[in-house]
């Protein structure tokens, strides 16, 4: 059976995340529904990993297998004609069977966007940012330096995952100006992320920016491997999956 790799962008606001759940619309479910209609039989879509409810993507990757008789359908065109405006297929190519959207991942990159203008949030940017006030960005950069490297990130993993190992290698966290002067973007790249890890790391950075944590305390939280001792999770809306590397 031919295997197709999809690159998918979405605005996650309306969805209960990537992965099919008991109820509520999901990105995976919406794409499977269209593929199943096109193929006349159930087609399963495998993503590179879950994204939480409300998280966005510029380039999520997924694959699916299709019956030989459907091999020559122009998948990008067919799916984009059926999908709602908030999901789009950026690319669809046939790959060999040794490609697997989840198991073949080498690293992923997420962007988290903060909105710092205190008196308003621009409506055009509101779905994509977390509005914060009075953060000390130098203190955040210092805290970020403590997090980079190969560590046990158990303190940044929310409950409900089946993953055994919690050691990951996080590249240096980069901070850049966003689309407007009010926006700062933090980029997180790692060989893998635990459940809600980026949002938990961002929550810690924000707490450091509020003056609540020095570098020594950041190290202690990381080494403590206890989620209950780490700061609160940052909201989903500021997070975008930017790239999956294979």
Annotated binding site for substrate: 110
Count how many residues are written for the chain.
246
Radius of gyration, CA atoms only, the chain = 19
Helix (H), strand (E) at residue 91: strand 87-95
Active-site annotation, residues: 52
- For the annotated binding site, the residues are 110
Told to check if 22 binds a copy of itself by CB under 8 A, we report: no
Return the residue of 126, 163, 167, 232 that touches a copy of itself, per CB under 8 A.
126
Among 38, 39, 78, 90, binds a copy of itself (CB under 8 A): 90
Q: Of 87 and 218, which has the nearer Cβ to a copy of itself? A: 87
Residues 6 or more apart whose Cβ sits within 8 Å of residue 56:
10, 11, 12, 13, 127, 128, 239, 240, 241
Q: Total residues contacting a copy of itself (rule CB under 8 A)? A: 24
215 binds a copy of itself, rule: CB under 8 A: no
Please, which residues bridge with residue 57 across strands?
Answer: 10, 241
Contact 104, 191 (CB under 8 A): no
| Longest Cα–Cα distance in the chain | 61
With CB under 8 A as the contact rule, the residue among 68, 85, 98, 162 that binds a copy of itself is: 85
The SS3 of residue 149 is strand
> Could you say whether residue 232 binds a copy of itself (CB under 8 A)?
no
Candidates 9-17, 37-45, 65-73, 140-148; binding stretch for a copy of itself (CB under 8 A):
9-17
The reply to whether 188 sits near a copy of itself by the rule CB under 8 A is no
Footprint on this chain of a copy of itself (rule: CB under 8 A): 9-11, 56, 58, 76-77, 80, 85-90, 119-124, 126-128, 179
């Amino acid at each position: 059976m031919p295997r197709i790799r999809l690159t998918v962008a979405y605005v996650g606001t309306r969805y209960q995340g990537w992965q099919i759940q008991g109820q509520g619309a999901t990105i995976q479910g919406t794409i499977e529904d269209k593929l199943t209609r096109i193929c006349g039989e159930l087609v399963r879509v495998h993503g590179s990993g879950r994204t939480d409810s409300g998280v966005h993507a510029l380039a999520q990757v997924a694959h699916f297998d299709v019956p030989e008789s459907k091999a020559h359908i122009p998948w990008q065109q067919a799916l984009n004609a059926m999908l709602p405006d908030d999901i789009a297929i950026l690319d669809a190519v046939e790959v060999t069977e040794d490609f697997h959207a989840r198991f073949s991942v080498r690293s992923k990159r997420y962007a988290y966007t903060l909105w710092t203008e205190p008196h308003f949030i621009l409506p055009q940017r509101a779905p994509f940012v977390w509005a914060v006030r009075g953060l000390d960005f130098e203190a955040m950069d210092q805290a970020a330096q403590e997090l980079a490297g190969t560590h046990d990130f158990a303190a940044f993993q929310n409950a409900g995952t089946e993953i055994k190992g919690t050691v990951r290698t996080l590249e240096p966290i980069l901070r850049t100006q966003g689309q407007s002067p009010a926006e700062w973007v933090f980029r997180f790249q790692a060989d893998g992320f635990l459940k809600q890890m980026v949002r938990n790391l961002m929550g810690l950075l924000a707490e450091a920016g509020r003056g609540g944590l020095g570098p020594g305390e950041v190290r202690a939280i990381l080494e403590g491997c206890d989620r209950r001792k780490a700061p609160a999770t940052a909201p989903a809306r500021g997070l975008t999956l930017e790239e999956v590397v294979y």
